[in-house]
Amino acid sequence: MKVAQFSRIGFIMAAAGSAVGLGNIWKFPYMTGEYGGGAFVLVYLVTIALIGFSVMVAEMLIGALGRRDTVGSFERLAPPDKKGWKYAGFMGFNGLIIMTFYSVVIGWIFYYLFEILSGLPTSTDTAKATFDNLVGNEAGIQIFWHTVATIIVTYIVYRGIKGGIEKINLTLMPALMLILFGLLIYAMNLDGFSKAFSFMFEPKWDKLNSEAIVRAIGHSFFTLSLGMGAIMTYAASLPKHASITKTAFIVTFMDTLIALVAGLVIYTFLFHEGAPAAQGPGLVFISLPVVLSNFGTLGTALALLFFLALSFAGLTSAVSLVEPVVQYLIDRFDTTRFKAVLIAGIGYYLVGIGALLSYTKAWGGFFSIAGKPLFDILEYSTDSILLPLGGLLIAIFVGYVLPKERVAAVLKKEMGERVFTVWYFSVRYIAPTALVFMMLNLTGILKIG
Ligand code: PHE
């Protein structure tokens, strides 16, 4: 199977586009609020530097050496007596599980883009009523926008690596950065900025519990698109002479920077109007529009730009969530891209409807398990269990299964001797320890804090 190749900048933008997503602009800010700010941000930053970056290099390496779909790459690289490792490649299917709720949230964003045009809510009560009504009562509207999101995403994936994925990332990523940095410059001149800055960067240790640590580790994987084969699948199309280390560094850096900028922008607006920090998942849908309504027409423009950026971020990540399974179906079953996209698309689309119904009053009970809405189960199981598990498999595979010479042959000349030693140590010991610890903590076997 010959896969198409990205251009060098195309690959960087596509990988960054995958990483920078709803995780950065929607989730990171509200999680920071829920877990009290600075200390959570610090754990998140340390995890990214210590584990996230190393695993990203490892995941890119598997793709770049394997040059197949995720299952095929593991199979090809595993030594003859360890071919069972190919099953690790099924981590690519996690992307579809994530897509079930990811697509619903992109749908909400589309809805808001239109909602904003008819005016911003002026009180938290009305804003909350709008959001709660959408999520709790308007199944039809949500299904409509979830359908629109699905059609756009699957169409881009259908157009392929070059004509679809690379192209959209080369356009939307610069646009997204322009909007966000523009908003940051504007925010820096507001009173709330210094408060937002200290909220995010002054650690309040008493707020940090074991749950916050586990969530920070899980989120660092989610936000970097690690542990489910998105980066691996893209790296299978890495241009021949591109540096894995350099690319992984740029992507990690951009992703972290954009999360921090998004957090600063949102909290500046919030604190400027004296709104409290902890708002949960409704943060950007409820609090932000109200706060911006105080800015008059300018506020409408700011809100529009913000949701536009959010939708760009969501779309460029969504395509990377669908592509691994599509690549797998094409490689394995020799199907056409069209059929592969259709199968993957319909699969997540239908479960996605279940996810959105699980939040509605009418259907919620039906789509819940043990009182937990399907939406939450899908989200929690991917970001707290499946992605760290995928990350663990990647670290073990590169750290223990692939012969060291093979790994060193590529990375030593990119990193230099000393950095390579540190990176290899991280992949063999630090990343697996942290991930196992995290999973044990989740199951309650090992509870800290
Ligand atoms: N990184 C994306 C985000 O931050 C989500 C994602 C996870 C994309 C895993 C691909 C793979 O929203």
Confidence at residue 54, expressed as pLDDT on a 0 to 100 scale: 96
HSE-CB of 340 using CA atoms within 13 angstroms:
21
How remote is the CA of residue 295 from the centroid of ligand 1, in Å?
Answer: 32
22 CB near ligand 1 (under 6 Å): yes
CA separation for the pair 249, 369 (Å, rounded)? 40
3-state SS, residue 422: helix
- The residue to which tokens 């269990």 are assigned: 385
At how many degrees (to 10) do helices 387-396 and 210-223 cross? 70
Rg (CA), the chain: 21
228 CB near ligand 1 (under 6 Å): yes
Confidence at residue 3, expressed as pLDDT on a 0 to 100 scale: 63
Q: Whose CA is nearest to atom 11 of ligand 1?
A: 225
Q: Whose CA is nearest to atom 6 of ligand 1?
A: 225
The full set of domain ranges for the chain reads: 8-442
Query: Is the distance from CB of 280 to CB of 85 less than 8 angstroms?
Result: no
Amino acid residing at 100:
T
CA separation for the pair 16, 41 (Å, rounded)? 20
- Phi-psi region for residue 280, left (φ > 0), alpha (ψ -120 to 50) or beta? left
91 CB near ligand 1 (under 6 Å): no
317 CB near ligand 1 (under 6 Å): yes
How remote is the CA of residue 23 from the centroid of ligand 1, in Å?
Answer: 6
Neighbours of 206 (CB within 10 A): 8
How remote is the CA of residue 382 from the centroid of ligand 1, in Å?
Answer: 11
Neighbours of 2 (CB within 10 A): 5
441 CB near ligand 1 (under 6 Å): no
Query: Is the distance from CB of 143 to CB of 349 less than 8 angstroms?
Result: no
- Of 223, 254, 312, best ligand 1 pocket probe by most atoms within 8 Å of the beta carbon: 223
DSSP state of 239: -
Confidence at residue 198, expressed as pLDDT on a 0 to 100 scale: 94
Which sign, positive or negative, has the C-alpha torsion 277, 278, 279, 280? positive
Confidence at residue 119, expressed as pLDDT on a 0 to 100 scale: 87
Pick the CATH number of 8-442 from 2.40.480, 1.10.4160, 2.30.29, 3.40.50: 1.10.4160
CA separation for the pair 207, 377 (Å, rounded)? 25
Neighbours of 332 (CB within 10 A): 14
268 CB near ligand 1 (under 6 Å): no
CA distances from 102 to 23, 26, 180, 244, 345 (A): 10, 11, 21, 28, 13
How remote is the CA of residue 20 from the centroid of ligand 1, in Å?
Answer: 7
316 CB near ligand 1 (under 6 Å): no
313 CA closest ligand 1 atom index = 12
- The residue to which tokens 């536009």 are assigned: 308
Confidence at residue 118, expressed as pLDDT on a 0 to 100 scale: 87
Record the tokens describing residue 36, joined without a space. 């009290």
19 CB near ligand 1 (under 6 Å): yes
374 CB near ligand 1 (under 6 Å): no
Record the tokens describing residue 180, joined without a space. 């966000």
255 CA closest ligand 1 atom index = 4
* Beta strands per DSSP E along 217-299: none
- Write the pLDDT tens digit of every residue in 333-391: 999 999 999 999 999 999 999 999 999 998 888 888 888 899 999 988 888 889 999 99
15 CB near ligand 1 (under 6 Å): no
How remote is the CA of residue 423 from the centroid of ligand 1, in Å?
Answer: 23
How remote is the CA of residue 51 from the centroid of ligand 1, in Å?
Answer: 16
Query: Is the distance from CB of 196 to CB of 264 less than 8 angstroms?
Result: yes
CA separation for the pair 196, 201 (Å, rounded)? 9
**Rounded to the nearest 5 degrees, what angle is found at the Cα of 352, between the Cα atoms of 350 and 357?**
105
28 CB near ligand 1 (under 6 Å): no
Amino acid residing at 238:
L
222 CB near ligand 1 (under 6 Å): yes
**Rounded to the nearest 5 degrees, what angle is found at the Cα of 329, between the Cα atoms of 241 and 396?**
60
CA separation for the pair 157, 159 (Å, rounded)? 5
320 CB near ligand 1 (under 6 Å): yes
224 CA closest ligand 1 atom index = 1
pLDDT tens-place values along the chain, 449 residues long = 556 789 989 999 999 999 999 999 999 999 998 888 899 999 999 999 989 999 999 999 999 999 999 999 999 999 999 999 999 999 999 999 999 999 999 999 999 999 998 889 888 888 888 999 999 999 999 999 999 999 999 999 999 888 899 989 999 999 999 999 999 999 999 889 999 999 999 988 887 888 888 888 888 999 999 999 999 999 999 998 899 999 999 999 999 999 999 999 999 988 887 777 666 778 889 888 888 898 888 899 989 999 999 999 999 999 999 999 999 999 999 999 999 999 999 999 999 999 999 999 988 888 888 888 999 999 888 888 899 999 999 999 999 999 999 999 999 999 999 999 999 999 999 999 999 888 887 665 544 44
- Of 317, 379, 381, 385, best ligand 1 pocket probe by most atoms within 8 Å of the beta carbon: 317
- Phi-psi region for residue 166, left (φ > 0), alpha (ψ -120 to 50) or beta? alpha
Confidence at residue 447, expressed as pLDDT on a 0 to 100 scale: 47
- The residue to which tokens 């595993």 are assigned: 78
Element (H, E) at 369: strand 368-369
- Write the pLDDT tens digit of every residue in 268-314: 988 887 777 666 778 889 888 888 898 888 899 989 999 999 999 99
- Of 104, 180, 225, 394, best ligand 1 pocket probe by most atoms within 8 Å of the beta carbon: 225
Confidence at residue 449, expressed as pLDDT on a 0 to 100 scale: 41
CA-wise closest residue to 346 among 100, 93, 69 = 100
CA distances from 142 to 90, 118, 136, 199, 376 (A): 30, 18, 10, 34, 17
